Structure 1
Amino acid sequence: MMRAFSLLTVLAAGSVLGACAGGVEAPSEPGVCYAVERGEEGKAPTFNVVARDQSQIEFCAARLEEMRLRFLTLGGNRREVTGAYQGQFIFIDRAGVWFGKSLDGSRFMALARTGDGRLAVPGAIEQEPVGPGQ
């Protein structure tokens, strides 16, 4: 009886882990920056090379931001871009740049937009002092 319970526990844990691992993984080729085109419902996304020989994820984000701005100047209306770099996803929107391990999971902010739309490290953006006598 105990052996059957242990076997069921292992099988249940394996199916839960398998369900989590079923998501789309970002390509992990060193130094290659990709733009990600999400597929239609039920279809896999497409990864298109934007730049090679990028030494850091922030440089890839800069290439994706350049691409986004270029499309906007050509009359496009897409304000959000998704990319990938060495196993991580990059999300660019009106608030800034976010990194995440999956397309639909949690993200953390890497770069925030300044008042004039440029990108900067969040802690580097100076705020106007607010308070009495300021």
Structure 2
Amino acid sequence: MRGTLIAVTVAAAALAACSSRTKAPTDAGVCYSVTLPEAGAKGEPEFHVVARDQPQIEHCAAQLEQMRLRFLRMGGSRRDLVGAYQGRFIFIDRAGVYFGQSLEGTRFFALARTGDGRLAVPGAIQREATPEAPATPPAE
């Protein structure tokens, strides 16, 4: 009996923790920019439409990166950006792009920055090969 009570209490606590996570809008093909409340301030995040008819989350990330760069060129100072696409969050920072199911949860690395600042799939980035030194000195 006591074990059942503990299991029910733990399950209720787990459900309460999951329900407190912020969820992204699930509108099909709509890319959002997310404005988060100031640190320490109470309130809900605000979602602003950036683009519609986006076929994939990577296209939304590209739209958000373009918006981030435009704001920086106009004198803005925010280097990090949060967006949302079909129920998932997009986090853009100096290292690249991350995706997550909630604002508070785990983030998964999706796109890396190349040497010139562009975004690319991590496996597609190739480094220049350096010539290897010969194993034996050349014969004279």
Asked if these proteins are the same fold (TM beyond 0.5), I'd say yes
Amino acid at match of 1:9: A
Deviations, residues 18-53 of structure 1 (Å, cap 9, x unaligned): 122211101111000000000133211101110111
Q: How far, CA to CA, are the matches of 1:13 and 1:42 in structure 2?
A: 27
Which residue in the other structure is 1:29 paired with? 27
SS in 2 for 1:111: strand
Amino acid at match of 2:70: R
Which residue in the other structure is 2:138 paired with? none
Structure 2 residue 97 is matched with structure 1 residue 112:
no
Q: How far, CA to CA, are the matches of 1:96 and 1:8 in structure 2?
A: 43
- The alignment's C-alpha RMSD in Å is 1.7
Structure 2 residue 63 is matched with structure 1 residue 55:
no
Gapped runs of 5+ residues in structure 2? 135-140
Which residue in the other structure is 2:95 paired with? 95
The two structures have a TM-score, normalised by structure 2, of: 0.86
Moved more, 74-83 or 8-17: 8-17
Q: How far, CA to CA, are the matches of 1:113 and 1:38 in structure 2?
A: 24
Which residue in the other structure is 2:46 paired with? 46
Give aligned-pair identity as a percent. 60
Gapped runs of 5+ residues in structure 1? none
Q: How far, CA to CA, are the matches of 1:8 and 1:46 in structure 2?
A: 38
Q: How far, CA to CA, are the matches of 1:61 and 1:12 in structure 2?
A: 37
Which residue in the other structure is 1:6 paired with? 4
SS in 2 for 1:112: strand
